[in-house]
Chain A
């Protein structure tokens, strides 16, 4: 066989070995340290395995959203964070994303990306000062996002819906009086 082709085959074998090695190295931290971000089957599993007591879930859901959540991601190292996604029946893309994080800089997924924010206002709700943004998503669908500090968490709710629906969702997530001391490490 041509030496050049043989070298190429050896090179590609090296690539396969390297990719396998990278995957193993990527998996090791999860073995060494529990609590790093991963997918869970349910909110209850997050509560029991990571011992996170305050997980903020709305009691109000706009019509068409499917329970249970389609995706639950959580971590308690290096700081506590929970992301929950909900879909509409028969749809693939998430229609509602809830994120709570003990770090204000936590990068939540932008699966619902607000393009061209039309309005950004500060909105007082149940003693919290919430930041409400309204705009449109990719195919001119109405989308909105609301963010506020809840105890030590920053909560962000993003939905493919108009602001009134989002406000109802946010309102149904907070029941207690506002507490102080946000963004503390666990």
Chain B
């Protein structure tokens, strides 16, 4: 008895997967248009809009089914705005498109595991093993001098004896900032203050339970390629939000911009599209895209005003209503 792939997409897990994908595509299009039309430049608001692409598809299918159990019926599908099963059941050259969809889902899951879960778990494991959570700050004089003018509540700051540029923060009950001697020796006091303020902003942001919950919920969409892309953009926006918070705290955007330039920006990164060989293209692509992001952050700090204001709630609500309304008829 040969089992047709379409059978899977008639089951609830199959329908959830296929519809969550469609719903995120529509949310993505609408969010893009909303950001462009309403000229939303604030990374905080852009991130809020971006979260719609991630969060709405998690709940849309079960919610719609609860409202109308007949939504899975043939009659509803025939009258729907879009029925993805029509495409998934299509056979091109003898290959059902449903099989291609399963391959895309599999590849997305693999990328999620290798590029998101494994690094997070490794980082957690390594920082626990290396005992980085020791109590008390080690009071490096250069760092102490640099951050004394910051009005924000200061976490413990630890110095790592390393010439490489290492800078990160840990969250939890005792948040801390870890900074390498390489950075301390490279940056001026103002620049050091700016990068520490940026890390403090990360610690503050990570205390927000709603944001944390959104990031955890994102894991349920591990199979969704649209969510994978959108999540990366949200992470980039998070960096910009922390840049803005740092600038609001230091009142010195130039210092942060110069620090980013010194620590992370490179002029000599090759565009991977100009490479003539495939080997090393992946690393090159990552390096290039990282460099572009740093370049964008530097340009923002140099040329754009800092966005500390909240707002655009009406626009957000309109966008949510439209996405939810359209997606109800997308099965």
Contact = CB atoms under 8 A, between A and B. Distances in A.
A183 B3 CA distance: 9
Given A14-B37, A33-B91, A184-B2, A105 B318 contact: no
Interface in A63-104: 73, 77-79, 83, 103
A23 interface: yes
B157 to A, nearest CB: 44
B4 A78 contact: yes
A14 B75 CA distance: 28
A108 B76 CA distance: 11
A25 interface: yes
Interface string A32-56: 1100111100000000000000000
A108 B86 contact: no
B36 to A, nearest CB: 9
Nearest to A99: B74
A26 B73 CA distance: 17
B86 A73 contact: no
A107 B37 contact: no
A185 interface: yes
A29 interface: yes
B86 A22 contact: no
Interface stretch (A5-13, A127-135, A155-163): A5-13
A184 B2 CA distance: 7
Contacts of B1: 182-184
A106 interface: yes
Interface residues of A, number: 38
A109 interface: yes
B91 A18 contact: no
Contacts of A10: 37
A125 interface: no
Contacts of B75: 109, 111
A119 interface: no
Contacts of B96: 78
B69 A26 contact: no
Given A18-B29, A19-B326, A78-B96, A107 B73 contact: yes
A15 B326 contact: yes
Contacts of B87: 29
Contact of B86 (A30, A79, A185): A30
B33 to A, nearest CB: 5
A104 B7 CA distance: 9
A125 to B, nearest CB: 24
A140 interface: no
Q: Which of B2, B4, B38, B330 has the most CB of A within 10 A?
A: B4
A19 to B, nearest CB: 7
A33 B81 CA distance: 19
Nearest to A29: B86
A4 B34 CA distance: 12
Contacts of A7: 37-39
Nearest to A37: B74
Nearest to B72: A107
Contacts of A107: 10, 72-74
Given A29-B90, A78-B4, A184-B2, A11 B33 contact: yes
A39 B78 contact: yes
Contacts of B78: 37-39, 73
A18 B89 contact: no
B70 A36 contact: no
Nearest to A15: B322
A111 B10 CA distance: 18
Contacts of B72: 107
Contact of A11 (B70, B91, B318): B318
B30 interface: yes
A50 to B, nearest CB: 15
Given A37-B78, A103-B7, 9 more contacts: A11-B33, A11-B38, A26-B82, A37-B74, A78-B96, A106-B10, A110-B69, A111-B73, A184-B2
Interface of A: 4, 7-8, 10-11, 14-15, 18-19, 22-23, 25-26, 29-30, 32-33, 36-39, 73, 77-79, 83, 103, 105-111, 182-185
Interface of B: 1-2, 4-7, 10-11, 26, 29-30, 33-34, 37-39, 69-70, 72-75, 77-78, 80-83, 86-87, 89-91, 96, 318-319, 322, 326, 330
